[in-house]
């Protein structure tokens, strides 16, 4: 018998679940956006359950975790930007720009 990771609906896990472009600025910005979307979801849940502390407290914890993740991704993005060539602040995709035949 094989154990295969799958969703709650029984859909098998695939590598398509990962969102990565290979461009660190794009990927970190996308990560930050995902954290903000999750925080918004928790905010909306809290509006509905504020009268039930047994539900609200775990949601508050999860919301705070999203805030911290957003901050850490932001710090990582700032570090990356601080180490970029000042003439090319927005960087480039080395896999695209380094190949022969591409316009420079």
Close Cβ partners of 92 (under 8 Å, ≥ 6 residues apart) = none
pLDDT digits (tens, 9 = 90+) for 35-47: 999 999 999 999 9
Predicted TM-score (pTM) of the model is: 0.67
Please give the mean pLDDT across all residues of the chain. 83
Given phi > 0 = left and psi -120 to 50 = alpha, else beta, which region is 11? beta
pLDDT digits (tens, 9 = 90+) for 13-61: 887 767 777 778 889 999 999 999 999 999 999 999 988 999 999 999 9
């Amino acid at each position: 018998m094989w154990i295969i990771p799958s969703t709650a609906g029984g859909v098998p896990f695939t590598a398509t679940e990962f969102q990565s472009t290979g461009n660190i600025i794009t990927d970190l910005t996308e990560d930050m956006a995902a954290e903000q979307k999750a925080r918004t979801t928790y905010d909306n849940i809290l509006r509905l359950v504020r009268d039930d502390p047994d539900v609200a407290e775990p949601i508050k914890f999860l919301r705070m975790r999203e805030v911290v993740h957003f901050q850490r991704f932001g710090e990582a993005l700032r570090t990356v930007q601080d180490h970029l060539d000042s003439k090319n602040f927005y960087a480039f995709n080395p896999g695209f720009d380094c190949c022969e035949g591409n316009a420079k």
